[in-house]
Amino acid sequence: MKRIILALALSAATLAPPALAQGQWGSSFTADEARNAREKGEIKPLNDLLRPIRNQYGGNMRRFDGLYERSGRKVYVIDWVTGRGELVTFTIDARTGRVISKS
């Protein structure tokens, strides 16, 4: 589980343009920072937060965009392909698992 999240975080860090990560979402977290936050209980593992989305929308995660600081809270941003083939971007509160926005 830790290896999957670490791999996803590392791939997102290499693919995400720095301007987007800094501009729209505030600061992004390194894999070490994300792991430390999870171990301290500040955030939940991403995989735990995907289950309710999968149950409601079907489909699977297409891409992990990253873990960011936004308005004083940590959020996961993911791209999801629903069971109907629609692409949806979710912003999820990393501490509570609540979906903040979808587009």
d(CA 51, CA 16): 24
Q: Which two tokens stand for residue 68?
A: 């960011």
Query: What percentage of the chain has pLDDT greater than the value 90?
Result: 59
Per 3-state DSSP, what percentage of the chain is helix, strand, and coil (rounded to 5)? 40, 30, 30
Q: Residue 33 class from Cβ within 10 Å (0-12 exposed, 13-18 middle, 19+ buried)?
A: middle
Which run of H or E residues covers position 23? helix 18-23
- Mean per-residue pLDDT for 8-20? 45
23: pLDDT strictly greater than 80? no
Q: Which two tokens stand for residue 49?
A: 């937060």
Q: Strand, coil or helix: what is 43?
A: coil
- Mean per-residue pLDDT for 38-45? 92
Model pTM? 0.71
- CA–centroid distance for 19 within its chain: 18
Q: Where are the domains of the chain?
A: 2-102
